Amino acid sequence: MLEKVEGFVNEPLPRKFLFFDEMITPSLVQAAYWLGLVCVIWIGLEKLFHGGFFGIFEAVIFVLFSSIALRVIAEMVMLFFKMNATMEVVAKNTTPAPVSAAPTPKPVRKTRKKVSKKVTKKTGGE
């Protein structure tokens, strides 16, 4: 039984999926974008046919702004994943700095206030 599980895990697709070797969210974001675009067009057509005279303007403005907003949101999410991939490449190409002993700080010398040797005389109350 254990051999079957190990064989399943060592296959490329399950290994990528189970051990996070590859991100699947970018593909899901693209699918969600297309589904969202279909929904925006569907709602725009509904506004066009059921909105009366002003429904035409409302539908055009809704479809235009909603499709742009949907695209910007999808691109921002994809940008985070591309930044992650770029940082992984940078991390692989960067050699870590050698660990050296931290320099010991110099002891702080406490200084005393210099007291004047002059003695001030108090004058008696006249």
Tell me the per-residue pLDDT of 6-29, one tens digit each, with 9 for 90 and over: 666 666 666 666 777 677 788 889
Question: Does 120 fall in a domain?
Answer: no
Instruction: Kindly list the distances between the CA atom of residue 88 and the CA atoms of 20, 78, 82, 83, 93, in Å, as whole numbers in the listed order.
Output: 14, 15, 10, 9, 9
Question: Does 6 fall in a domain?
Answer: no
Question: Does 88 fall in a domain?
Answer: yes
What value does the mean pLDDT take over residues 107-125? 65
Q: At residue 114, what is the residue type? A: K
Higher-scoring residue by pLDDT: 17, 83: 83
Question: Does 28 fall in a domain?
Answer: yes
Q: What does the pLDDT read at residue 11?
A: 66
How many domains does the chain divide into?
1
Question: Does 102 fall in a domain?
Answer: no
Question: Does 119 fall in a domain?
Answer: no
Which domain covers residue 74, as residue numbers? 22-93
Q: What is the mean pLDDT of the chain?
A: 80
Q: What is the CA radius of gyration of the chain?
A: 35
Question: Does 87 fall in a domain?
Answer: yes
